[in-house]
A and B are shown apart, each in its own frame.
Chain A
Amino acid sequence: MRQTVLITGGTGMVGRELLPKLCSDEAVENVIVLTRGTTQSVLNSKIQVLHGDVCKPDLGLEEACRQSIARHITTIIHGASETSFHLVLSEARAINVGGLENVLRFALNCPCLKAFCHLSTVYVAGKRTGVIHENDLRHDCGFVNSYEQSKYEAEELLSSQAHRLPIATVRLSTVLGRSTDGTVTKTGAIHSALRFFFHSLAPLVPGTDESPVDLIALDYAAESVALLALQQFVPGATWHICGGSDAFSLTEFLEQTLQLFYQNRPAWRKRAIEKPAIVNLKTFELFVKSIEDLGDSVLKNSVFVLKSFAPQLAYPKLISDVKTQRALSSCGVTRPRIRDFYPKVIRFLLENNWEAMPQAQASLSVRQ
């Protein structure tokens, strides 16, 4: 059967990487990219860019347009979300839960819909510790930031609709860059934290020596999502795209990073910058409060970034992807090893002065 895919969040970091994977699937006839932004240089004939907004009723589409596309859609990949860690909960909720609600309502009017693939985060586990399995969701441990909580609430909403729609959830871990050449197409909190480390502005990290630092490659994330949304779609399934047992420990992550800075910037060694010290959460919070009290702008920026996500390391968890690995490996998808691609990402970031690849270059990958 020929497939028509609607993707939200297609211009985001994972979405942009996902588009060429979807287009290269022979079963896919059309890919409709719902976006609020301006039209990009999309040169693939399968792609149709549609201006809309998941936060608006009917996705911000004219009735005729909405009905016209709804008739053909076989797969929805909902990746649009607010990924900032700094929003107040009501703002994050409006986009991550409210947006999903609108897309679900739209999906109910798609007569040919076979698959609704929701992109989420492994950090819906919030402040849980220990092993987190794919089927786990509900807990009362709390969350590190509004992003985690709003994505958790979005998954709860999905659960309530599971009897009405063919829904699968793909939870992604922290995406670092491409495994092939280390390219970073969009920088996030993890890249900013590394930059602060390089500039000797990240002295303390909460956590324990053994806290897993779970990072994944962008291409692996995109390839896995494409597969799990199309060929390997299983209604009711939840998948973990994560480092799992391959994750760095926090100590190893910091040590590796320091060594890579040395290797790529030999002159940097003269600075004798120390690895950030690993501290308990109480001490980290005291440090954050002290810096915030001081009104010192540069260190304040560092603290602002770190406090938004690093406390997650104080709740050590091993994200299990046993079930997902089984499904992906049966299709020939192998998870790139973090120890292989992390050096490439660091080299890319240093060579590009901590900037992501310009969007114009990144979008070339969408071309035929």
Chain B
Amino acid sequence: MSPGIGAIEYVLPAGSFSLQELADAELLASSPSQLQDFGFDRCYISTEPADELALRAAAALITNADVDPESIDLLLYASALSQNHQLATEHSLSGFNYPAAKIQYELGLTRANVAGISQAGCTGLNYAIKFAADILQANDSANRILCVSADVLPKGSKREIFYNVISDGACALLVERRPQRNQIIAQRSITKGYYWDCISRKNEIMAAYFPTAKNLFQELLRAAECDPKDLRMVFPHNVSLRSWEILLDLIGVRKDQLFSENIPKKGHVIGADNWINLKDAMASGALNPGDKLLAFNFGFGANWTATLIEH
């Protein structure tokens, strides 16, 4: 049996803002109407640092899933932004103040090793899940890995990146050897270092997105012998709905297979989108045992990841 995702919890900040409010605060580059046309409506902005959101998400998971903190073998902490990987103060040593270690201590994960995953853009949490699943399959003595991501843009940052509306937020997942649900059937990822300079290669990145995503999808589904029509749901990263319409056609997936309702409501919560969407879909009762689910994400670097799950 393959490992899978035993539990998910997420935390969004209290402050939610409409596109017009964001425009009034000069936090958008495009007009609200254009972004609305792309499927966005509002986003969440945190006044708390990333590590606080991460801690709350992880704590909620430990409590709600009734997990013994000492049963966690490894904690993987992911964030797209380098500043979210440290609890920086003016002291030069504060660069070594790591949120992962803090979470381990606060939650009493005394047996867990900790490590961070960075430099993978919005795909950091997906890479954490991939590495966790690989570790569980390779190491018989490990059973539970806690993956946590947190992304908070610096105060005053524009809330629009590449025509997508960005939210702050955190998500925690428990990757287990024998999950009751959400078994990971297959995972694929591609990194293309040519696009490392996301400023000067902005146009090329936008162009590379579709054909690379298509190939990744097709390779994943081929490996899993799964037809796109058999997917119960696709969990997107919450980028422009327009870009999803194009991508859906490329991969032969119908629009009604896409769980898109969080794009307007929550915006693009950097690394957490796929799993927030899975959690919400489960909560809505829309999923049945055995459903095939697919999560796709893209991150600067550039990275493309896709995960096929059986609910």
Please report A residues at the B interface, Cβ cutoff 8 Å: 199-204, 270-277, 279-280, 282-283, 286-287, 290, 293-294, 296, 298-299, 302
A275 and B206 CA atoms in complex are apart in Å by: 14
B217 to chain A, nearest CB (A): 11
Separation of A163 and B270 alpha carbons in the complex (Å): 71
- 16 new A-B contacts, CB < 8 A, other than A283-B246, A296-B203, are A199-B204, A200-B194, A201-B203, A202-B207, A203-B207, A203-B208, A204-B211, A273-B208, A277-B214, A279-B246, A283-B250, A287-B210, A287-B246, A293-B34, A299-B206, A299-B207
Cross-interface CB contact of A277 among B163, B193, B202, B250, cutoff 8 Å: B250
Assess whether B230 is interfacial by the CB under 8 Å rule: no
Chain B residues, CB < 8 A from A202 = 207
Q: Once the chains are docked, how many angstroms separate the CA of A88 from the CA of B34? A: 28
Which of A276, A282, A294, A302 has the most chain B CB within a 10 Å cutoff? Answer: A294
8 CB contacts below 8 A, A to B, read A201-B203, A202-B207, A271-B194, A274-B208, A274-B212, A282-B249, A283-B245, A296-B206
Chain B 27-43 against A: per-residue CB contact (8 Å), 1 yes, 0 no?
Answer: 00000001001000000
User: How many Å lie between the Cα of A155 and that of B212 in the bound state?
Assistant: 44
Contacts of B204 in A (CB 8 A): 199-201
Give me the 3 closest cross-chain CB pairs, A-B, nearest first. Answer: A274-B211, A271-B194, A298-B203
A200-B249 in contact (CB<8A) = no
Hey, which chain B residues are within 8 Å of A273, CB to CB?
194, 208
Q: Which of A199, A271, A275, A282 has the most chain B CB atoms inside 10 A of its CB?
A: A271
Q: How far is B203's CA from A271's CA once the two chains are assembled, in angstroms?
A: 14
Q: Which of B188-242 contact A (CB under 8 A)?
A: 192-194, 202-204, 206-212, 214-215, 240, 242
Kindly state the separation between the CA atoms of A272 and B246 in the bound complex, as whole angstroms. 22
Contact bitstring B231-263, A, C-beta under 8 A = 1, else 0: 000000000101101100110000000000000
Chain B: minimal CB distance from A274 (Å): 4
Determine if B211 and A276 form an interchain contact, defined as CB atoms under 8 angstroms apart.
Answer: yes
What is the distance, in angstroms, from B198's C-beta to the closest C-beta of chain A? 14
| Closest chain B residue to A293, Cβ basis | B34
Q: Indicate whether A275 sits within 8 Å of B211 (C-beta atoms), given known contacts A199-B204, A293-B37, A294-B163.
A: yes
Residues of B within 8 A of A280 (CB): 249
Whether A290 contacts B243 in the complex (CB less than 8 A), given A201-B204, A274-B211, A299-B203, comes out as yes
The interface residues of chain A lying within 8 Å CB-to-CB of B163 are 294
- Contact at B207–A279, with CB atoms within 8 Å? no
User: A275: shortest Cβ distance to chain B, in Å?
Assistant: 6
**Hey, which chain A residues are within 8 Å of B211, CB to CB?**
203-204, 274-277
Taking the nearest CB of chain A, how far is it from the CB of B99, in angstroms?
33
Determine the distance from Cα of A274 to Cα of B202 in the docked complex, in whole angstroms: 16
B209 CB contacts on chain A under 8 angstroms: 203
Q: How far is the CB of A297 from chain B (nearest CB, A)?
A: 8
Q: Which residues of B contact A276 (CB under 8 A)?
A: 211
* Complex-state Cα separation, A270 to B191, whole angstroms: 12
Is A272 in contact with B203, judged by CB distance below 8 angstroms? Answer: no
Q: Which of B144-193 contact A (CB under 8 A)?
A: 163, 192-193
- State whether B203 touches A290 (Cβ < 8 A): no
Tell me, in angstroms, the Cα distance from A296 to B193 when the chains sit together. Answer: 22
**Cα of A253 to Cα of B114 in the assembled complex, Å:** 50
Cα A277 to Cα B240 with chains together (Å): 19
Q: Which B residues touch A298, using CB under 8 A? A: 203
B196 to chain A, nearest CB (A): 11
- B210–A203 touching, CB < 8 Å: yes
The answer to whether B208 and A286 touch across the interface, beta carbons within 8 angstroms, is no
- Assembly CA distance A274 to B205 (angstroms): 12
Chain B's closest residue to A271 (CB) is B194
> Closest residue to B205 on the A side, CB-wise?
A200
Chain B residues with CB under 8 Å of A271's CB are 192, 194
Residues of B within 8 A of A203 (CB): 206-211
Contact between chains at B242 and A290 (CB < 8 Å): yes
Contact of B242 with A201 in the complex, beta carbons under 8 Å: no
From residue B307, how far is it (CB to closest CB) to chain A in Å? Answer: 21
Interchain CB contact under 8 A, A200 and B214: no
Residues on A with C-beta less than 8 A from B208 are 200, 203, 273-274
Q: Is the CB of A283 within 8 A of B249?
A: yes
**A283 proximity list for chain B (CB < 8 A):** 245-246, 249-250
| With known contacts A283-B246, A286-B246, A204–B203 Cβ distance under 8 A | no
Cβ of B207 and Cβ of A270 under 8 Å apart?
no
CB distance from A305 to the nearest CB of B (A): 13
CB B207 to nearest CB in A, in angstroms, measures 4
Q: Which residues of B contact A286 (CB under 8 A)?
A: 242, 245-246
A195 to nearest B CB, angstroms? 13
Smallest beta-carbon distance A359→chain B, Å: 31
**Which A residues lie within 8 Å of B203 (CB)?**
201, 296, 298-299
Question: Could you tell me the distance between the alpha carbons of A42 and B203 in the complex, rounded to whole angstroms?
Answer: 44
Cross-chain contact A290 with B246 (CB below 8 angstroms)? yes
What's the minimum C-beta distance from A152 to chain B, rounded to whole angstroms? Answer: 31
CB distance from B258 to the nearest CB of A (A): 15
Smallest distance from the beta carbon of B295 to chain A beta carbons, Å?
21
How far apart are the CA atoms of A199 and B201 in the complex, in Å?
A: 10
B residues less than 8 Å from A299 (CB atoms): 203, 206-207
> Which residues of chain A are near B193, meaning CB under 8 Å?
270
Name the residue of chain B whose CB is nearest to the CB of A283: B249
Nearest Cβ in chain B — how far from A97, in angstroms? 37
Q: How far is the CB of A283 from chain B (nearest CB, A)?
A: 4
- Known: A270-B194, A274-B211, A293-B37. Is A279-B249 also a contact (CB below 8 A)? yes
CB distance from B243 to the nearest CB of A (A): 7
Chain B residue at minimum C-beta to C-beta distance from A276: B211
For B209, the closest partner residue in chain A by CB is A203
Within 8 Å CB of A274, what residues of B? Answer: 208, 211-212, 215
Task: Tell me, rounded to whole Å, the shortest Cβ–Cβ distance linking B100 to chain A.
Answer: 31
Complex interface: chain A residues within 8 A of B240 (CB): 290
* B-side contacts of A275, CB under 8 Å: 211
